[in-house]
Amino acid sequence: MSARQADLKSALLAEVAKCRACRFCVDVCPTYQVSAGVEALSSYGRIQIIKHLLMGVLELDEGLTYALYTCLQCRRCENVCKSKGQNIEICEVIHNARAFLAPNYQKGGGRDS
Amino acid sequence: MIPKSRNLVRELFSLMAQNLAAGGDPLGFRQAYWTGWAEGLNLPRQGEALLFTARMYQMLPYVTQTTKLVDRTRSLLSRPALATLAKAGNLLAGEKILRHLAGREQEIEKRGRNALRGIAAALALVSGPPAYLYEKEPYSGVLLHDLGLEDVVKAHAEKVARVLHEAGSSRIMATDPHTVYMLGQIMPGYIPGFKAQVQHYTEVLAREPQRLAQAMGPMPLEEVVVHDSCQMARDLGLVSQVREVVQALGLRAKEPEHCGRDTACCGGPIEFAYAELSDRISRMRAADLSDQCKNVVVTCPICLINLAKHEQEFGLRVWDLGELLNAGLNRPLAD
Amino acid sequence: MRINSKGLAKDLGRIVGQEYVFNDAPTNLVYAKDVMPYDLEEHNLPYAVVRPGDSGQVAEVLRYANQREIPVHTHGSGTSLVGLARPKARGIVLDTARFQDIAIYPERGYFEAGAGVHLAKLRKALAPYRALLPVFPGSEPVATIGGAIAVNTSAHAVDSALGKPGDYVLGLEVVLPSGEVIETGTHSLRRPAGVELTKFMVGSEGVFGIITRVRMRLAPLPATTNIVATFSKTEDILAVVMEMYRRGISPPMFFEYLDESSARIGYSAVGLPEPAGAVAIITMHSDNSVGCRDKSERFLEFLKEADPIDAKILGPGLEWDQIWGSRAEAGNYVYRQGSTFGSEVTPRVDKLLDAFIDTKDFILNLESYAGPQFISFGHIGAPTLHGYAFIPTKDIPSQVKKAITLEVRQKSENINIKYGGCGGEWGLTAQRIDFLKARYQPAYYQLLLNLKKALDPTNILNRGNLEGWL
């Protein structure tokens, strides 16, 4: 892992640690709404997926890729998180997770390095 | 049921990176397809205030066709060997195929052209004819940023910064919110010292609503429902400006249930990779908007093409604000 | 027993449709995660998540699970604060999110809702009918009506004023653990007397069945008036509550408080200037606005006897929304600044002050962590006080977090036992089962076990709740 990757990872872990799993951001997420309520396709779901990927509990597989890259980055979740929840820049976390994982896709690898 | 994603994402990445490296265009096109809208306008090529399209409206016909193509070949792209073949084919045949297919998208192309002409006319009225870079105008790189391709973004951002610096304009008036966001909030992080004054054109127009109102001719409609783009409302904090312009046009602005900072997304950002999911989201939004009014006004080309897909089902007409400016200023409606 | 996750997913797909079954690791994890501060362990992770669309499919899933002795964990919103939301044995998570139907019948005097409907959505649907949804948890945007009735939680509502949500339930559709679908209750507004299973299923915490549909009375929305009062210390607010009941004054619908610390944090989070002390946040209610105004003015005079720093009637508007928000989201706002470990203390009303002192004392002297701060807030008029151990860092090992959680749980429950309360919003199983066993006679718990055995002989439904597993 490069130094930049390591910094990204550590910054991401600090951000996702803030998530209390209050789930207030679940209902406002468009992908949650159109999937008849699949929690993995909500902002809360994506944050927890990123957290557990970085903790080594989850692997970079199809399900994880789908959850991460279906985020619209629309920031509707942040309205709720900032007003009622933990004030996390949720879309920035998801974006930074994509940046952290990009080398895995570019090299054609499958595992988080 | 999870669609196969890893290979698809991988292929998108390499496609984008390759195309940009080849000629600076995300579609991989060499021939300038982004200048035709300005034919006959004789905009100055240099000036203090620069109109910047970043090719976003002009890409629309190709984006819609590419998306359909990606969706049809999705099952192919999810298999590694075939994906490699498709990539090789991309450089040779891609441009020809897409140009051919894009010919079907005449309505979208017309709307995009009218929108840009309307925006240019309105800006000229309010703050004098803007400069335009014509074939030198670069793409902003925003899709790369969305995908997290930081290295590729940086390289592209350096090119964009150079072009803008050479243009020498102190003010940049962008025609879409993604470009405002990219230039105003993202590029300074990649290019130290890059400090452009970037505004969305509605910010410029909203400063002189009276001048706009006085120049407006009859409009083809009386009221619209405003769809706020996520980027406009939440990233850029631009909510009142579009309403002031709509009012200056002599139109009544209706509000959907979720509007302003609580606006609901059009589904556009994932359209390229996950068309079916994107379609469900845009349909949901189109349904909400149609509850208020059948004429929808948008200020983002991505919102335009995503909501326009559902016009027939809900009896909607989705107008780019630029089209309405064009209708009011460039009478009759420019073809 | 080894379970083949792919085979399981295929079988479940035959019942509900393949697109409504997930067995990928990320989805499994997301459904298992809850607000407990300690990490998920392997036994918490399901083999698959199934999302049935009607009670028939729920029944078939349960019959399938029974045949193979696979545990089934019901998932509503996943927001339980006492561990109900986290599966405690590997099995199937059954998500009720597709139960979204809302049917309102003003001519019948009731409405019906699918178990998965979020309370905020339901409240909005009832608004045009000027009907009350008598459930007010802080997790309203995402909490489900099924979960709220399964726990029979009062949350913000003062029981003596509004009753409990179960008091408004006319009937239920329930799927028993063995896979039979039963209907309980009535379609009339005259509720049944005698042995009637609605009452048995309300508050059953997923132990005895899965609630799939709820029928509730359309109660008229009361007129309301808000009062905010600042006191120099929390103890003054407690004294007000005790005196209110002593004098037989009709309690308000909401009577909340923020102590000095949580008031500072909450007010700052919502953009209000720092309050001068502890804050009482009250909503008076009455059948009509004239009566409500009169009631509020008299209550205000009563509050002033306790010599507050200030006390006023506050009309609807931004200031009230902010103040209410500072309390409704106090838990989240405090958590922003570190780690929190909460309790629910609901003493006999005349012992409120003693219970508060005991709670503060044990939290300041925890064995599992040296030097936490004590923060409290709650539905003090109910009475409920939430005493929290607050530690201004997120950097605490998972095992330590677990130890603190359990210590706070156990010691606060000892206070409930000492002062005769039993909680009113978080349920009595899962992390509260030790309290239940200590508070009531052995025969009580044995009765629950016997009922469980009778209804769920293979113990597949929400296994671990009655046992108190983590």
pLDDT tens per residue across span C146-203: 999 999 998 899 999 999 999 999 999 999 999 999 999 999 999 999 999 999 999 9
Mutate which: C28, C33, C121, vs A, most A CBs within 10 A? C33
Measure CB to CB from residue B265 to each of A30, A62, A100 and give the nearest one: A30
pLDDT of residue A111: 40
Nearest CA in chain A to B15: A106
Task: Test C18 with B2 for CB contact under 8 angstroms.
Answer: no
Q: Rounded distance, CA B270 to CA A73, Å?
A: 9
The answer to whether residues C311 and C338 belong to one domain is yes
- A78 in reach of chain B (CB within 8 A): yes
- Omega cis (within 30) before C383: yes
Q: Is residue C24 part of a domain?
A: yes
Q: Between C233 and B65, whose confidence is greater? A: C233
What pLDDT is stored for residue B98 in this prediction?
A: 56
Alpha-carbon distance B296 to B278, whole Å? 19
Number of CB atoms found within 10 A of residue B310's CB: 21
* Interchain contact, A75 vs B5, CB within 8 Å: no
Answer whether A21 touches C (CB < 8 Å): yes
* C199 and C334, same domain (yes or no): no
Residue C17: closest CA among chain B residues belongs to which residue? B1
Touching B: A residues 53-72, CB under 8 Å? 60-63, 65-66, 69-72
Where do runs of H (alpha helix) occur along B216-269?
230, 240-248
Percent of the residues in chain C that have a pLDDT greater than 70, as a whole number: 100
Tell me: do C155 and C248 sit in the same domain. Answer: no
> Are C304 and C408 part of one and the same domain?
yes
Fill in the DSSP letter of residue C275: P
In angstroms and rounded to an integer, the radius of gyration of the C-alpha atoms of chain C is 22
Q: Which of A10, A20, A71 to mutate to test the interface with C (most CBs of C within 10 A)?
A: A20
Residues C254 and C378 grouped into a single domain: yes
Question: Where residue B95 falls among pLDDT bands split at 50, 70, 90?
Answer: low
Give the whole-number percent of chain B exceeding pLDDT 90. Answer: 55
Q: Tell me, what's the pLDDT at B74?
A: 55
Q: Does C212 touch chain A (CB under 8 A)?
A: no
Contact C18 B1 (CB under 8 A): yes
pLDDT tens digits, one per residue of A57-101: 999 988 899 999 999 999 999 999 998 899 999 999 999 999 898
What lies within 8 Å, CB to CB, of C443 at 6+ separation is none
Q: Which domain holds residue C401?
A: 223-418
Query: Global pTM?
Result: 0.90
pLDDT top residue among B52 and B79 = B52
| pLDDT score at B3 | 62
**Residue finishing a domain among C418, C433, C453:** C418
Query: Residue A113 — pLDDT band, cuts 50, 70, 90?
Result: very low
d(CA B322, CA B328): 10
Mean pLDDT of B286-294: 97
Pairing of strands C169-175, C210-217: antiparallel
Q: How far is CA C105 from CA C109, C117, C131, C214, C299, in A?
A: 6, 17, 11, 13, 36
Instruction: Provide the strand spans (E) within C186-335.
Output: 210-217, 219-220, 223-231, 254-258, 278-286, 310-314
Query: Which residues have a Cβ under 8 Å from the Cβ of C79 and sit 6 or more positions away?
Result: A22, A23, C34, C35, C85, C137, C139, C142, C143, C147
pLDDT of residue B335: 42
Residue B83 has pLDDT above 90, yes or no: no
Tell me how far apart the 2 most distant CA atoms of chain A are, in Å.
41
Strand partners for B295: B317
Mean pLDDT for chain B overall: 84
Q: How many CB pairs under 8 A join A and C?
A: 102
Same domain, C18 and C74: yes
Higher per-residue confidence, B319 vs B22: B319
Contacts of A14 (CB under 8 A, 6+ apart): none
Give the mean pLDDT of C315-321. Answer: 93
Give the pairing type, strands C92-95 and C48-50: parallel
Residue C204: count of CB within 10 angstroms of its CB: 24
Domain final position from C64, C95, C126:
C95
**pLDDT value at position C283?**
98
pLDDT in tens, C404-445: 999 999 999 999 999 999 988 999 999 999 999 999 999 999
B11/A104 Cα distance (integer angstroms): 12
Query: Closest Cα of chain A to C266: distance in Å?
Result: 11
In a domain, C301, yes or no: yes
pLDDT value, residue A99 = 86
Residues above pLDDT 90, as percent of chain C: 95
Residue-level pLDDT at B294: 97
Same domain, C381 and C394: yes
| Number of domains within chain C | 3
Same domain, C256 and C363: yes
Touching C (3+ Cβ pairs <8 A), the chains are A, B
How do the domains of chain A map onto residue ranges? Answer: 3-104
- Residue C10 clears pLDDT 90, i.e. is over it: yes
List, for residues B231-281, the tens digit of each pLDDT value: 999 999 999 999 999 999 999 999 999 999 999 999 998 887 788 999 999
Band (pLDDT 50/70/90 cuts) for residue A109 is very low
Spatial CA neighbour of B175 closest among B227, B121, B225: B121
Residue-level pLDDT at B151 = 78
Q: Do C24 and B2 touch (CB under 8 A)?
A: yes
A89 CB neighbour count, 10 Å cutoff: 15
Dist CA B175 CA B299 (whole Å)? 8
At the top level of CATH, the class of A3-104 is: mainly alpha
pLDDT at A21 (0 to 100):
93
pLDDT at C223: 96
pLDDT above 80 (res B44): yes
Q: Does the distance separating the beta carbons of A62 and C51 come in below 8 Å?
A: no
Buried residues in A50-87 as b, exposed as e (16+ CB within 10 A): bbbbbeebbebbbbbbbbbbbbbbbbbbbbbbeebbbe
Listing from the earlier edge strand, what are the strands of the sheet with C48-50? C21-22, C48-50, C92-95, C72-75
Contact C345, C416 (CB under 8 A): yes
Is residue C19 within 8 angstroms of chain B, CB to CB? Answer: yes
In DSSP notation, C369-381 reads SSS-EEEEEE-TT
Q: Convert the pLDDT of each residue in B131-155 to its tens digit.
A: 999 999 998 888 777 767 777 888 8
Are residues C24 and B1, on separate chains, in Cβ contact within 8 Å? no
- With a cut of 50, say whether residue A110 has pLDDT above it: no
Taking the C-alpha atoms of residue C58 and residue C454, their distance in angstroms, rounded to an integer, is: 20
**Structure confidence at residue B69 (pLDDT):** 58
Do C129 and C73 share a structural domain?
A: no
For residues C12-35, give the mean pLDDT: 95
For residue C70, what is the domain's CATH number? 3.30.43.10
Is C318's Cβ below 8 Å from some Cβ in A?
no
- Reported as a single tens digit per residue, the pLDDT across C61-74 is 999 999 999 999 99
CATH number of the domain that residue C143 is part of? 3.30.465.10
Whether C127 and chain B come into contact, CB under 8 Å, resolves to no
Mean pLDDT of chain C: 96
Rounded distance between C-alpha atoms, residue C73 and residue C464, angstroms: 10
**A58 contacts chain C (CB < 8 A):** yes
Residues C211 and C232 in one domain: no
Q: From CA B75, how far away is CA B93, in angstroms rounded? A: 20
Chain B interface, Cβ < 8 Å to A: 2-6, 9-10, 13-14, 17, 80, 146-150, 230, 234-235, 261-265, 267-270, 273-274, 277, 280-281, 284-285
Kindly provide the residue ranges of all beta strands, DSSP E only, lying in chain B, ordered along the sequence. 49-52, 171-174, 197-200, 223-226, 252-254, 295-298, 317-320
Q: Which of A24, A52, A80 sits opposite C29 (nearest CB)?
A: A52
In eight-state DSSP terms, residue C341 is E
Q: A24 vs chain C: nearest CA distance in angstroms?
A: 6
**Beta-carbon separation of A57 and C336 below 8 A:** no
> What is the Cα–Cα distance from C300 to C302, expressed in whole angstroms?
5
Q: Strand pairing partners for B319?
A: B297
Choose among C140, C131, C134: nearest CA to C105. Answer: C131
**Same domain membership, residue C409 and residue C286:** yes
Residues C131 and C213 in one domain: yes
Q: Which residues of A touch C40 (CB under 8 A)?
A: 52, 57
**Res. A104 pLDDT band, cuts 50 70 90:** confident
> Count of A–B CB contacts within 8 Å?
95
Indicate the residue among C176, C199, C220 that finishes a domain: C220
Distance in angstroms (rounded) separating the CA atoms of residues B190 and A81: 28
pLDDT at B91: 45
Query: Which positions in chain A touch B267 (Cβ < 8 Å)?
Result: 30, 72
Q: Is residue B165 scored above 80 in pLDDT?
A: yes
Residue C103 lies in a domain: no
Label residue B94 by pLDDT band (50, 70, 90): low
